[in-house]
């Protein structure tokens, strides 16, 4: 397996990211060495909080939450998934799958022998993190999730499956604006709308990660947004990028480093034809018998995951009697918009259980 590594120089002088790196080397299925990066902040004897990020971000996403958690006596572990951040990046699109990420992060978890964990997972951090709980249940004491899910759709109508598959195979690549418009209107068939994101990522070799995160996370006027789109069209993104955009661009010196962020959306198991369907079924059987504390802290305005907390609240016994939180206007990345509120949810759960 060909594996790329982002030079350390690309992470120099990032705003608000003073954390020391820690590295663990695991083995891929073909015996290659794969180095995974994580942060380890706070007292060594503090309660362990495992903060899992999603796509297309990295542990930089947790820079605002870490001080709140550490000041409350928590020890924060925040890894970068393979393909993201300071972790190594397999070079082929085919190297990435849901199962590979679960297996890679499982090896990382065992190698570091983390125990007594509270999982905090958002976006892919929830999809992968929840599967880690299934596979390594003895290492986890409680779970907190935000804006994520455990997709399992074995009975999706055939016409929807055919529509999504035809769109992925034959439709022209959506523009950045077309993709954003589709995601903002997720009512109806979520699988069909989410296919815009999957297709955009898969077929855009040089995904403008920093620009997308800036547009998502930073408050700007419509005129400022229009100017950013214009700069992107003219190939001048680098001249207009904010410190935040620079940080989210940092892991990707060239398009070939972006295979992970391009591949992963297509592995969200939205269809009954997805290869991870059976593992998702087993995971739901596990969580339907999960009695450890399981808390939801979703945003009220995330178009991608709004309402997905209902299935956990209905099916997971560990959710009963807990103070589940709805984060007002939190958007998709609550770690950026509401770091103090999300941190306090985690702190309160650990202290009360």
Q: Which residues are catalytic?
A: 123, 302, 332
Helix (H) or strand (E) holding 336: helix 334-337
Q: Which residues pair with 121 in a beta bridge?
A: 52, 145
β-strand partners of 4: 89
User: b vs e for 204-230, b when ≥16 Cβ sit within 10 Å of the residue's Cβ?
Assistant: beebbbbbbbbbbbeeeeeeeeeebbe
Phi, psi of 106 (to 5 degrees): -65, -45
Using CA atoms, how far apart are residues 351 and 269, in angstroms rounded to an integer? 35
Q: How many angstroms separate the CA atoms of 25 and 157, rounded?
A: 43
- What ranges make up the beta strands (E) of the chain? 3-4, 22-27, 33-41, 48-52, 75-79, 89-90, 117-122, 140-146, 294-299, 325-327
Residue 210's closest CA among 2, 40, 10?
10
Q: Using alpha carbons only, what angle is made at residue 149 by residues 179 and 59, rounded to the nearest 5 degrees?
A: 75
DSSP-derived letter for residue 294 is E
Say if residues 200 and 264 touch (Cβ distance below 8 Å). no
């Amino acid at each position: 397996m060909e594996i790329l590594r982002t030079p350390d120089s690309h992470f120099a002088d990032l705003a608000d990211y003073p954390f020391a790196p820690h590295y663990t080397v695991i083995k891929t299925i073909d015996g290659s060495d794969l180095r995974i990066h994580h942060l380890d902040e706070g007292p060594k004897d503090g309660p362990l909080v495992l903060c899992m990020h999603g796509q297309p971000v990295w542990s930089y996403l947790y820079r605002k939450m870490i001080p709140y958690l550490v000041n409350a006596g928590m020890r924060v572990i925040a890894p970068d998934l393979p393909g993201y951040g300071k972790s190594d990046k397999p070079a082929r699109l085919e190297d990435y799958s849901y199962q590979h990420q679960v297996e890679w992060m499982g090896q990382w978890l065992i190698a570091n022998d983390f125990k007594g964990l509270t999982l905090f997972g958002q976006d892919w951090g929830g999809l992968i993190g929840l599967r880690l709980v299934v596979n390594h249940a003895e290492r986890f004491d409680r779970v907190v999730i935000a804006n994520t899910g455990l997709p399992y759709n074995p009975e999706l109508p055939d016409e929807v499956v055919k529509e999504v598959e035809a769109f992925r195979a034959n439709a022209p690549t959506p523009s950045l604006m077309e993709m954003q418009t589709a995601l903002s209107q997720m009512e109806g068939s979520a699988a069909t709308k989410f296919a815009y994101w999957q297709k955009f990522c898969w077929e855009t070799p040089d995904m403008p990660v920093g620009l997308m995160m800036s547009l998502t996370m930073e408050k700007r006027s419509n005129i400022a947004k229009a100017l950013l789109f214009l700069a992107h069209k003219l190939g001048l993104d680098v001249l207009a990028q904010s410190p935040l955009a620079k940080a989210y661009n940092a892991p990707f010196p060239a398009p070939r480093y972006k295979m992970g962020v391009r591949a992963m959306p297509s592995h969200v198991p939205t269809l009954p034809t997805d290869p991870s369907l059976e593992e998702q079924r087993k995971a739901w059987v596990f969580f339907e018998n999960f009695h450890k504390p399981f808390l939801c802290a979703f945003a009220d305005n995330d178009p991608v995951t709004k309402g997905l907390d209902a299935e956990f609240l209905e099916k997971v016994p560990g959710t009963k009697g807990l103070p589940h939180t709805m984060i007002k206007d939190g958007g998709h990345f609550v770690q950026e918009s509401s770091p103090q509120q999300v941190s306090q949810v985690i702190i309160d759960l650990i202290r009360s259980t």
